[in-house]
Amino acid sequence: MDRIVYVNGDYVPESEARVSVFDRGFLFADAVYEVTSVLDGKLIDFAGHARRLQRSLGELEMPAPVDEETLLQIHRELVVRNGIEDGLIYLQVTRGAADRDFAYPEDATPTLVLFTQAKPGMADSPASRKGARVISIPDIRWGRRDIKTVQLLYPSMGKMMAKKAGCDDAWMVEDGAVTEGTSNNAYIVKGRKIFTRNLSHDILHGITRAAVLRLAREAQMEVEERTFTIDEAKAADEAFTTSASAFVMPVVEIDGVQLGDGTPGPIARRLREVYLDESRKTAI
């Protein structure tokens, strides 16, 4: 590993990419993040991620460390310096470093960190051709999942529960209804109609979700945004998830129940194709 990482204005080797132990991102999870995909060296839906970052910062009354144009330049610089063809750019903003106190500091400078993850061939991953097997787990996260904070311990635990069950991911369930996957939005298809949970504080307002729903509607697919139960999901014709890093990922099994013939469904495959085509066209 010898990536170049961005930390508060400097481009440094990853072994030197450090933050203060007094950083509120480290002490209080007082931080938000974004992950932007790179395909063919270009950024997918950068504007969407920049917009959501602004929203997250606003919800937490956290100042923005740099403006959107500067953020774009940093993304591009990291793509070039790390020779990223296909991969991810991770960005995190924290409220900054200050002596430990629950109350927000009055004079802290926000911390800005970005790094890359190379994922050669991510648009044609074997996982997406096979489809994901998921388990369901109770959703015990906090009540503001629409803010993209780094409070990701439970999603991490969920991913480990899935691994231990020999599966790929977990769908979280609250009051009988699916909220979302550990790091993606969840969808089912029944009678060629696509169902996904409506936006609220209960789920992340996925950038890929917004794009995929728009493309589905443009392709005359029927879409309904409403809660659906885990039982509906198990009885669905097909299912899938969306995220910036995995695009559209077919789901072929839920809690041991095979969906359809156990292979990626036609609507998920079609949406993945359409989303990737559109993303490549509009990448910057």
Q: Could you list the active site residues?
A: 148
Binder of a copy of itself out of 99, 106, 107, 124 (CB under 8 A)? 99
In sequence order, the β-bridge partners of residue 195 are 188, 224
CA pair distance 159, 163, nearest whole angstrom: 6
Sheet of 87-94, strand order: 10-13, 4-7, 111-118, 87-94, 31-39, 42-43
Rounded least distance, CB 258 to a copy of itself, Å = 24
In sequence order, the β-bridge partners of residue 111 are 94
Told to check if 48 binds a copy of itself by CB under 8 A, we report: no
* Neighbouring C-beta atoms of residue 152, cutoff 10 Å: 16
Report the candidate in 81, 109, 83, 88 with the shortest Cα–Cα distance to residue 22: 109
Match 């009354």 to its residue by tokens. 61
Told to check if 192 binds a copy of itself by CB under 8 A, we report: no
Nearer to a copy of itself among residue 103 and residue 220 (C-beta): 103
At 156, list the tokens. 């991490």
Q: Are 124 and 137 in contact (CB under 8 A)?
A: no
Nearer to a copy of itself among residue 142 and residue 225 (C-beta): 142
Told to check if 26 binds a copy of itself by CB under 8 A, we report: yes
CA pair distance 79, 74, nearest whole angstrom: 9
Tell me the window of 37-45, 68-76, 120-128, 136-144 that interacts with a copy of itself (CB under 8 A): 136-144
Told to check if 129 binds a copy of itself by CB under 8 A, we report: no
Binder of a copy of itself out of 64, 81, 146, 154 (CB under 8 A)? 154
Binder of a copy of itself out of 9, 18, 192, 217 (CB under 8 A)? 18
Q: Are 252 and 259 in contact (CB under 8 A)?
A: yes
Told to check if 155 binds a copy of itself by CB under 8 A, we report: yes
* Neighbouring C-beta atoms of residue 165, cutoff 10 Å: 15
At residue 174, the 3 state secondary structure works out as: strand
Binder of a copy of itself out of 11, 19, 123, 232 (CB under 8 A)? 19
Told to check if 53 binds a copy of itself by CB under 8 A, we report: no
Tell me the window of 47-55, 141-149, 185-193, 216-224 that interacts with a copy of itself (CB under 8 A): 141-149
Binding residues vs a copy of itself (CB under 8 A) = 1, 5, 7, 14, 17-31, 33, 60-61, 90, 92, 99-100, 102-104, 113, 115, 117, 138, 140-144, 149-160, 163, 182-183
